[in-house]
Amino acid sequence: MNTLFCLLALAVIAQSAVLVDKQDKSAAARNNINIGGIYPGDRLLSRSYVYKPAVANTIQFENFVYREYRGDTRTRISAIYVTQQGYYKQCSSTWIRSGGLGYPDVTISFQSLRGYGYYYMIDIWGR
């Protein structure tokens, strides 16, 4: 009886592990930022990439800073798209630390889980 119970418990655990793995492959498991909108008259102010390879037992952190340097202080950000690139299981976080929509600058923070890296494409639109 104990052997049958153990086999049944292992089957349930194995099935749940497969279901979790299937969920990680979806686009919803990615940590992207999509705020604002692109409208007629907007232009791509910046397209940049941030990349940190995985390092064993290390949490990696980086701030990406965009400032409008063209001398036109009237330029304002209307959309920010931060899209995870590459392998789906990066396990990283991203958030806007300061600035953003309606400002001429933005600071975006990136942080990996211990032992993982990250790779993002950053598009900043404005007028």
- pLDDT tens digit sequence for 68-110: 876 666 889 999 999 999 866 788 999 999 999 999 999 999 9
Structure tokens at 28: 């919803």
- Strand partners for 121: 49, 83
Residue 20 buriedness (CB in 10 A; 0-12 / 13-18 / 19+): exposed
CA atoms within 13 A on the CB side of 100: 11
Residue at token pair 């409008």? 68
Supply the pTM of this predicted model: 0.74
Structure tokens at 36: 């604002």
